[in-house]
Chain A
């Protein structure tokens, strides 16, 4: 079917529209939402399979040929990310059923989640730089609604911050697209790449490259543009936080990956060196934050920043091996961050607090929760059988081969800090002396854990079954390392 790459975008879009008709009928919304999201997952898995056998899939919207119309491109990287996104959204949706609460459900929570899925899947799939902006906005608008929905004081304060930062970065995005368009006269990504190669990236394009780094850095939270993230992500309830932590920053990371491998690969001594140093400092800042806090949500939030740094360092090295590591780590991180946020959410549901000092001894009454959490922490830190390991090995090997010893060393060192920060949650919250808890959502703890555990299983399978996943990742990194493959597929020259 010719429109297959679009299905993971169209299905949630239709679902969101249909859910708007059932504004007050919450159980109907739940059923339709869950079934449709399962459909999205199936469609995206079929898409991955098609890309694996038949190569990069493209759709020229409205039947207009490649540089003139909008082209949607599903290469292996975007297909994998779309699949990961759909799976995560599915489990977070199930998790929301018992945790988000009637007040939010009755005010269009489920349609907005679907719109978020539209935005993220669209941003991963599009092959047009302005269309990427539009999908960014679809995603951001939905995230504005999700962050403020419920209207508690802290949410209102943080959403103002969040919206302000993102509006500025969106305006900057438009300005940069305008610059790029005035230099090259095209918006199609493959065509942009061809035209940049034609003029061999003069100074003005290097400026634009750095400014794109600023734009995507604001979305993806790299140093020094991460300042809004810890506060803003702390405000919304757990399922929303899981969606944000797993998906939103990763779209920024994906965009940097795409632009820095497809467009601006001619002056790597300058642009990629900046990216590399920023990534290293991002890792350091994330580590400092992750070990500084005694709040379970804050600790995991700072772990997002570490992961962004680790992935981007792989991009800055630009060797096939480090790119492969970056992709592997990106997908691993999306899954495990969602799982960790959901698990932490279960702990908060039981204890009624996110303060680590007020927790303790959860393992006595909730052994299933405790052991799952331990596995999740080991996965996050990259202990060998689990999925964080392979990505980091590839990244470290890639950066040592490229003689980037500082970055490679930082990646290794950061694992220690990551492990320390999450083991701190385990030792103080799960281990230790049991306490009395009065969490309001205690009775749902087992259901909520049930949703999270699927993601943990997925993360473990992703690590144990690395041999099976590896060909997909290699295929994805080939298209990144050689822009010719992507251009060939889109422009069909």
Chain B
């Protein structure tokens, strides 16, 4: 008999959005408050795992057609690329740069290349977590 998990699925659709928003908040807070790419990435993959629990792998991969192994590679490329960008300016590897900009809506904001590095970390963490969970999930 198929169990009907309509409550779980309805709650999941709402809650997973909240978790993802929280993870993005954690990610951007990283420089001034506790948080950062690692915990943000884990939290996002937590939301994805909740989706996997409520639905099945096929449905989730239809909603989010992402190859997580490629995500790891893209994340690494971002992180290493940010570090290697320093080579172009003939300063030591991983030297970061920042400045203040007046953005519309946000006002005076500091933009730092460390955020790009952290985005790389964020993507790698999501990619690794989801690859592990999905690989274990489909193997017999």
Contacts and interface: CB of A to CB of B under 8 A. Distances in A.
B93 A59 contact: yes
Nearest to A61: B94
A108 to B, nearest CB: 9
Interface string A56-91: 000111110000000000000000000000000000
Contacts of B69: 20, 23
Given A10-B80, A13-B80, A21 B70 contact: yes
A20 B80 contact: no
A61 B80 contact: no
Interface in B75-100: 76-77, 80, 84, 86-87, 90-96
A262 to B, nearest CB: 22
What size tier do the contact residues of chain A reach?
10 to 19
Main secondary structure of the interface of A (DSSP, over half): helix
A17 B77 contact: yes
Contacts of A62: 92-96
Given A3-B87, A14-B84, A20 B94 contact: no
Contact of A17 (B73, B87, B92): B73
Nearest to A20: B73
B126 interface: no
Contacts of A59: 92-93
> Interface extent on B, as a size class?
10 to 19
B72 interface: yes
A20 B93 contact: no
Interface string A13-34: 1100110110100000000000
Nearest to A71: B92
A25 to B, nearest CB: 13
B72 A20 contact: yes
Contacts of A61: 92-95
A17 B69 CA distance: 11
A6 interface: yes
Nearest to B80: A13
A10 B84 CA distance: 8
Contacts of B96: 62
A2 to B, nearest CB: 6
Contacts of A17: 73, 76-77, 80
Contact of A21 (B73, B86, B90, B91): B73
Contacts of B87: 3, 10
Q: Specify which of B70, B72, B92, B94 lies most central, judged by the most chain A CB atoms within 10 Å of its CB.
A: B92
Nearest to A1: B90
A61 B92 CA distance: 6
B99 to A, nearest CB: 16
Contact of A2 (B70, B76, B91): B91
A3 B80 contact: no
Interface string B41-70: 000000000000000000000000000011
Given A21-B73, A62-B93, 11 more contacts: A2-B90, A3-B87, A10-B80, A13-B80, A14-B80, A17-B80, A20-B69, A20-B72, A20-B73, A62-B96, A63-B92
Interface of B: 69-70, 72-73, 76-77, 80, 84, 86-87, 90-96
27 contacts: A2-B91, A3-B92, A3-B93, A10-B80, A10-B84, A10-B87, A10-B93, A13-B80, A14-B80, A14-B84, A17-B73, A17-B76, A17-B77, A18-B77, A20-B69, A20-B70, A20-B72, A20-B73, A20-B76, A21-B70, A59-B93, A61-B94, A62-B94, A62-B95, A62-B96, A63-B91, A63-B92
Query: Which 3 pairs show the lowest CB-CB distances between chains A and B?
Result: A20-B73, A62-B94, A63-B95
